[in-house]
Amino acid sequence: MNENKSLVIAGHGYIDCLMAAVLTALRECLNRREVEMLMCAQASLADLLRETATGDAVPGRVFIVGVGLSANRGALVDSLQALRHAGCTCTWLSNQEAAQPQQLDGLLEPVLALDAALTDLAAERFAPWGVYEASVRALRDCGDSEALTLFYRTAGFVNRVMPREHGAEVLRLFLDGLRARKLPDFSPALKQYIRAYELMGHRELKGNEPPVYRLKQLIRRVAPADDLRIMILGETGTGKESVANLIHLNSERWTQRFLAYNCASSNSELQESAFRGYCKGAFTGASAYHAGLFEQANGGTLFLDEVGDLSPESQGVLLRILEEKKVMPMGGDKEVPVDVRLITATNKDLWQMADEGTFREDLLYRLQEFTLRTPALREIPGDIPAIADSMWRQLNQGEALPEAAQGPLRSHDWPGNSRELLNFLKFARTMGAGKEEGWSALLEQHCAHRRRLHRGEEKTPVRLDELIALHCRRIVAQCGGNITRAAEMLGIQRPTLRRHLARELTKQPQHP
């Protein structure tokens, strides 16, 4: 047991937890103790305390700030007893529960104040002599700031999806900043976390049904295997890019770039120039040097989505890069060494394509060294409410999904998966869900509208410009309404796509 080490555990969910935890950590720092800060959900607290009690350096003090004690009661008692036997003292700060459970008497010291701010509770308990007055003022002043809110959400995100030491590093940056009486300067590591949160904080793998739980376990297992090329299989809208990003964030390359490219967004020539890059003058319009995807992602991870849409020529280019770990820019005379972890994804049967001669079998063996599969929503109906709640909170500034929505959402099969679910939630928000109409009626209205659109598109236009407009509408629908993504898939600019979408289809002549 290390008497000069303290562990401060903050709860997820609101900034007050983090501020009170930081205030507690500051007291320990001034008492010349080494401090580690972590964030933890109630359901994971018993496991975290057990790991702490059985670790190589058991801390002399553990502070649990804003984490409830109701979950996994038996395991929690065992973990606290193990800490006490190791000589560690535990303190619990809470403003949500009036008293500690009776089973925990003697295992920890409660510091309770029902409905009080945890920051005030920590200040009163640990800073009665005024040493922290400046820190308390700084915490209160920055409590509603955009920077702190972003930091707290980012810290919670990385602690849920990343290794323990990564999350501790982020929290340490904040602690060091407050010890210097200022908000933290965003270091390169923290900027990387913030980019990750902004990119996919709302796309974490929600749910605990067996397919999702198994997928999370496999991600943790394959992420550190840097030399393993992974192919992600799954239907459209099942979160394949989110899985690829999680693999990157849990690998040794997490501080380097994650770059995603949709192979269906361009033709053969553009695919080759995207992979290789080009030098000035390589072709008409090449006015300057442009690094290819592998050079841009050097040291990091490259994710190739819809890899089944690669042309035969591009498949050959990709195979050569993987074999030689070098890339020759178009128009250049010098190869560039590249060190990139490649992750691919598809919703096609590539082995059947290999049998048909449309996909190279030798390339497929190199791409599919390990396979992950993302489940469709109809396979995990019990997780749909949690997934929908996460989306709804993003759309409604943190407001929880109404309970009345859970039944109707769970009963629908969602052929478009998460993209269709998000489309419906946007529709429901616009229609005043939970206020003017019931969720079942809204879902039926939404599905009926989509059926009418589908029936209307079955008639093939005669004019070429109308056929182009129809194809553009279908691609936009496939992309969940994302104009930018649809334009990339079509290989045109967004203004051009909007011009096609604005075109009205003429009515087809009716034949007797």
CATH 1.10.8 location in the chain = 377-455
Q: How does pLDDT run across 152-170, given as a tens digit for each residue? A: 777 777 777 777 777 777 7
Residue 266 has a pLDDT of 82
CA 233, 238, 243, 244 torsion-angle sign: positive
Over pLDDT 70: what percentage of the chain?
85
- State the architecture of 2-183 in CATH terms: 3-Layer(aba) Sandwich (3.40)
Distance CA 342, CA 241 (A): 13
- State the architecture of 210-373 in CATH terms: 3-Layer(aba) Sandwich (3.40)
CATH 3.40.50.300 location in the chain = 210-373
pLDDT confidence bin for 436, thresholds 50/70/90: very low
Q: How does pLDDT run across 274-310, given as a tens digit for each residue? A: 999 999 888 888 888 999 999 999 999 999 999 999 9
DSSP 8-state class, residue 351: H
φ, ψ at 175 (rounded to 5°): -60, -45
Residue 293 has a pLDDT of 95
13 Cβ contact list (under 8 Å, min separation 6): 66, 156
For the chain, the average pLDDT equals 82
Greater model confidence, 255 or 58: 58
Greater model confidence, 506 or 491: 491
pLDDT confidence bin for 124, thresholds 50/70/90: confident
What 346-351 contacts at long range (C-beta under 8 Å, 24+ apart), as own/partner pairs, is: 346/231, 346/232, 346/233, 346/305, 346/306, 346/307, 346/308, 347/233, 347/234, 347/235, 347/236, 347/306, 347/308, 348/308, 350/307, 350/308
DSSP 8-state class, residue 505: P
CATH 1.10.10 location in the chain = 457-501
User: CATH number of the domain at 377-455, please?
Assistant: 1.10.8
pLDDT confidence bin for 133, thresholds 50/70/90: low
Distance CA 310, CA 318 (A): 9
CATH topology classification for 457-501: Arc Repressor Mutant, subunit A (1.10.10)
pLDDT confidence bin for 509, thresholds 50/70/90: very low
Q: Any idea which of 99-113, 135-149, 328-342, 388-402 has the lowest mean pLDDT? A: 135-149
Q: How does pLDDT run across 373-425, given as a tens digit for each residue? A: 999 999 999 999 989 988 888 788 778 888 889 899 999 989 889 989 999 99
Of 95, 98, 100, whose CA–CA distance to 76 is shortest? 100
Distances in Å between the alpha carbon of 59 and those of 9, 65, 179, 339? 12, 16, 21, 40
Output the pTM of the full model: 0.69
DSSP 8-state class, residue 239: -
- Residue 476 contacts residue 490 (beta carbons within 8 Å): no
Give me 79's structure tokens. 């973990």
Rounded average pLDDT over 333-360: 94
